[in-house]
Structure 1
């Protein structure tokens, strides 16, 4: 070949393919790719390689890669685990651009497998060969006839094509999506099983396809967040191009890090971080597999991201029970159905539209008539109080599908999104709506999940600087040193002095009462070693406090180095919050606001964002912490300085732009929220530095 093909070309549109270790039996996993390629009409050159046979499935078989008349663009390695490394090494020497590895038995299988995977990673880095897998079931690109997969689901013919590209950690999920999609009339522009992401990641693969005009959006099935930087870069680039990204991610169960050094680490579990990561990048994260297949038209209709997410939903129905289910499921997800305004009700009445207008416009059986439903939809979609409208259709969707969906199809070109939820099992009606690109749903749960997930997206802001240490690399600095970091960031804190732990009490520059705390980077949680004394009223009590703190350390933390005590004036605010920052190994820098003090881990009342955050995002975080509603001026109660709190969130989040400070984690707990106009004040801080 005269020139090296691009990644997207070699992966999805290769001119030539080598099937290394292909079986003569098309019924076997290692025999399927050749059968599928021929059935799909792949126009490129296919080289079956089998060292033991001269013919495979009726075609000439080549004994080795070196015996081929050309260097293939893409090699699919179907051989057992122990022969993978030698084969990849041979591919790299020959100049094969991309290889896919079917075999498992790598990092998931113990120390030997970890070593094998590391060898693959080093080989990719040193030679430039790109590796898909291990544990990859392959790649499918219908436009080019590429069905380079061992997935049995592709034995089925007549797979519909679509405009959505799928990338999945799970190979079997690719087959599930294809079969479920076919039942709904949903097709795909391409599908990739990424496996272990030893080299090629979901983010890098998808980013390589962004300029493909045949791809209008993406579905990602994620088992975890890996290669977060590549995923971040892809999601932001997709948003810029107006191509929606939808994700179904496993791991919603609570699995916080038990050994986390800070409350921030314990409260911001892996899935909490993943959720903030995806939402802040404008990714639609759904909870249900049905929604995963159904949500894309809605995400596309509302754009890849939105700055002011529409929240006001109107519902018109031919079945009160079906509508009630939708309203209930939306309510569970904090999406409120908006009742029609008096002006809209007058228009409905003037148009002679019958039915009951409460929170839902229930047309009853009259809504099965085309002219009634069409007129009602027109008025609802034009009404300024609704940002989107959901049409809930009853039994007529099954028994008179053409009649039931025609008014929806004829109204779907409105500037506002129109959704359909069909109460009965109505595959014909769903197919018509799907073909027309109308967002349509089989259940109230998936309908509500889709609406909630799309509205939960947030527009991505400024990205973090590169070069941050990860939290596993850090060591704690003393509280006094932590305040020096807060000073750099303009995070307000209480005044303090440090005194020798074993020295005499000194005259303080502030009034009593005061608090005295041991001050050492080796003591992360001071209360656990008796290292905090409060309400000290005079110099005599301060002298005694120094003795008590020293004794407590000797008993509860023998051998721990601590020479100083930090003394601060006692302060009381209207509320206590926890403000934390940490660098997640995959998601990168995040900032968290939570109920603070003793409530931090009890309430788990928190808001998380990728750092850094702008002021408007910080205000959103303040509004999301329920505890702070008690100081938001409700029922005449005193207002806290929530604007100062928002600014402080912004200031701490600037650590994401300061890798030079080498901060892995930083936490203020508690941060006192003072009365409106009096600001906020940190009275304890913990910082981990690389």
Structure 2
């Protein structure tokens, strides 16, 4: 099966040992022994309990050192301090893998963090790698490895298949197995990664990629800790052609802690996670069941192979069920396409008559093998669709040999077909799964998986850039210095002149009036809020007056002493204003952010985020993604903006990824004109102050 030494010890151990094994099979610490026997584990299992001679009728040993040999995999189910001792003993013996159920580590504050350091130090005494702590275990249904206390594995015959599950939540591995039972969905392995004090989720998955029986991955994430390892896995999974579905908690969380820019508010933790998953080539599902049911569809639609706006057809024997499906697809941005009149005529000639409608409704009388076969053949061969969704009525439960069997027979076509049965029909789902046809329990899950499959792009992740964030505290630099940083990477910025407040007798500008006068200070992130900006200044006297007003207002509202002002020419109105931002995330590395511009940028959930740097194609894709930027396309006959110039500005901003001292940058607004685009304001935070004096 597996080929790497780590994967072999993790999933195919010839010998296992359970430390803290209980004599009571009903206890969590007694379950693994019972589960191993029930699953028919073919290796040798040893049990360690220093207080008993036997556990559940098997010999108990006082310690790992007392075992007849060195086990390949040890599962520790003791208290936290005893677990550290057990790991140290395992390391001295040369045990390859130890999985630790015990809690009481990083989640318990300073004392727990210190204990976790001791755990890592204990493992480092030998070749031992640690899964956990707080791991509910490792399961391989293919060979009976059941090193888990999860009660869901108490049921016999854990379903076998090609999905490898890695979860940061222990209960999820059992929950997915219970939901998959009887539906033809099976697993090649399940690992609860727990606290990831040593082995990370990404490392574990990477180690298993050479296993030919693993065909896809399902990841349940609570956070993006160790994202560098996850990025390495993503790149390797892409090379191996193995799709990855991911479910991550946190969609409903407030944005990450705000920084001084609007960009910090817009690029919240979950938005950055989306950008990360996109670059990884992962399919992010938003329904829990989609994590189990989605991989079958991902195996049929390779990353980046499908169109961004897929042509989806719906065929059904129940109009109401099809309407639900159309609704759910539309909510996720997937539009259903009606068959052409020519296709409807061909279907009728083949014996599968449907009305001219958005859906191909065969009706109750159409729930026959020959009718469904004819309908699917014409739809799949038509060249009008990228995917067919079949919504099956009551026959799915009572007579699966009719419509369901016909659907199963068409599963090998180049145009994939998926099935959703309106009634609960596990036998039909199992039949479809056995035929390679993805089947879904709910319309929400089906629509979720379809949207995620077609949104998945080819992996572009660069693991070297993940987590490249300076450790020093960044500082805000003033607008003039910020503009120099942006200009250096190619972001067009309005010309400007810095004037000292003490030397305003001679106002000599290299550009004409009117102008804008701004407070110039590295203590002011948002000047408008504190009276730091005066617009439409018409002459030199106006500049002096504006400067005096700015000094007084900023001192009063912000308590900041301003000794310089920045003067820029007033920009002619453009087609639209845009925010282009950059920030360096501790979790996912550098990202570029695009949104509608101005002071209201963060009021609307209308933002596109990508890992930086990006190319022009990606920048244009981001522009299309922000609904508020439709105005740039010439809405209702209005002049169109120079979208290409904006895309070039996005690409230039994203090149700050190469400037490792820049932590955050923003051009807001960028004025998009009919020809060209220019930043009207600049803000940069960096670890080395580049500020210059006038």
Global fold match (TM > 0.5): yes
Query: Aligned in 2, Cα 1:305/1:208: closer, same or farther, shift over 3 Å?
Result: farther
Answer whether contact 2:219 2:291 (CA < 8 A) is retained.
no
Question: 1-side partners of 2:139 and 2:309: how far apart?
Answer: 36
Count matched residues.
682
Question: 2-side partners of 1:561 and 1:128: how far apart?
Answer: 60
Question: 2-side partners of 1:56 and 1:399: how far apart?
Answer: 48
- Which residue matches 1:204? 203
Q: Are 2:64 and 1:65 equivalent residues in the alignment?
A: yes
Counting only pairs closer than 5 Å after superposition, residues 218-233 of structure 1 correspond to structure 2 as 218-233=217-232
Instruction: Show CA shifts across 1:234-283 (max 9, x none).
Output: 11221221111011111110411343222111112211111221123221
Answer whether contact 1:463 1:612 (CA < 8 A) is retained.
no
Instruction: Show CA shifts across 1:291-330 (max 9, x none).
Output: 2221121111002443644611011111111111111111
- Which residue matches 1:622? 623
Question: 1-side partners of 2:18 and 2:369: how far apart?
Answer: 56
Q: Are 2:150 and 1:151 equivalent residues in the alignment?
A: yes
- The Cα of 1:565 is off from its aligned counterpart by 1.9
Secondary structure in 2 aligned to 1:166?
A: strand
Instruction: Show CA shifts across 1:386-408 (max 9, x none).
Output: 11111111111122111121211
Answer whether contact 2:470 2:661 (CA < 8 A) is retained.
no
Counting only pairs closer than 5 Å after superposition, residues 276-675 of structure 1 correspond to structure 2 as 276-306=275-305, 308-309=307-308, 311-461=310-460, 463=462, 465-466=464-465, 468-469=468-469, 473-504=473-504, 506-558=507-559, 560=560, 562-571=562-571, 572-656=573-657, 658-659=658-659, 661-675=660-674
- The Cα of 1:46 is off from its aligned counterpart by 2.5
Secondary structure in 2 aligned to 1:597?
A: coil
Secondary structure in 2 aligned to 1:46?
A: strand
Query: Aligned in 2, Cα 1:152/1:254: closer, same or farther, shift over 3 Å?
Result: closer
TM-score calculated relative to the size of structure 2: 0.94
Secondary structure in 1 aligned to 2:459?
A: coil
Question: 2-side partners of 1:171 and 1:349: how far apart?
Answer: 52
- The Cα of 1:418 is off from its aligned counterpart by 0.7
Question: 1-side partners of 2:606 and 2:4: how far apart?
Answer: 51
- The Cα of 1:681 is off from its aligned counterpart by 0.5
Question: 2-side partners of 1:235 and 1:7: how far apart?
Answer: 18
Question: 1-side partners of 2:277 and 2:305: how far apart?
Answer: 14
Answer whether contact 1:51 1:64 (CA < 8 A) is retained.
yes
Answer whether contact 2:73 2:98 (CA < 8 A) is retained.
yes
Question: 1-side partners of 2:352 and 2:56: how far apart?
Answer: 66
Question: 2-side partners of 1:427 and 1:128: how far apart?
Answer: 45
- Which residue matches 1:94? 93
Instruction: Show CA shifts across 1:456-511 (max 9, x none).
Output: 21223262754722598422122112112112211111011111133315211111
Question: 2-side partners of 1:211 and 1:305: how far apart?
Answer: 23
Answer whether contact 1:354 1:366 (CA < 8 A) is retained.
no
- Which residue matches 1:164? 163
Answer whether contact 2:100 2:134 (CA < 8 A) is retained.
yes
Secondary structure in 1 aligned to 2:111?
A: helix
Query: Aligned in 2, Cα 1:527/1:456: closer, same or farther, shift over 3 Å?
Result: same
- Which residue matches 2:683? 686
Query: Aligned in 2, Cα 1:115/1:556: closer, same or farther, shift over 3 Å?
Result: farther
Answer whether contact 1:77 1:84 (CA < 8 A) is retained.
yes
- The Cα of 1:121 is off from its aligned counterpart by 4.1
- Which residue matches 2:690? none
- Which residue matches 1:180? 179
Question: 2-side partners of 1:450 and 1:22: how far apart?
Answer: 41
Question: 2-side partners of 1:594 and 1:619: how far apart?
Answer: 13
Query: Aligned in 2, Cα 1:277/1:283: closer, same or farther, shift over 3 Å?
Result: same
- Which residue matches 2:118? 119
- The Cα of 1:68 is off from its aligned counterpart by 2.9
- The Cα of 1:562 is off from its aligned counterpart by 4.8
Q: Comparing 96-105 with 298-307, which one deviates more in the overlay?
A: 298-307
Query: Aligned in 2, Cα 1:488/1:128: closer, same or farther, shift over 3 Å?
Result: farther
Question: 2-side partners of 1:662 and 1:162: how far apart?
Answer: 47
Query: Aligned in 2, Cα 1:235/1:308: closer, same or farther, shift over 3 Å?
Result: same
Secondary structure in 2 aligned to 1:495?
A: coil
Question: 1-side partners of 2:426 and 2:672: how far apart?
Answer: 56
Question: 2-side partners of 1:525 and 1:310: how far apart?
Answer: 39
* CA RMSD of superposed structures (Å): 2.0
TM-score calculated relative to the size of structure 1: 0.95
Question: 1-side partners of 2:644 and 2:209: how far apart?
Answer: 40
Instruction: Show CA shifts across 1:20-49 (max 9, x none).
Output: 221122211112222222222323332211
Instruction: Show CA shifts across 1:143-173 (max 9, x none).
Output: 2321111111111111221111000111111
Question: 2-side partners of 1:508 and 1:548: how far apart?
Answer: 20
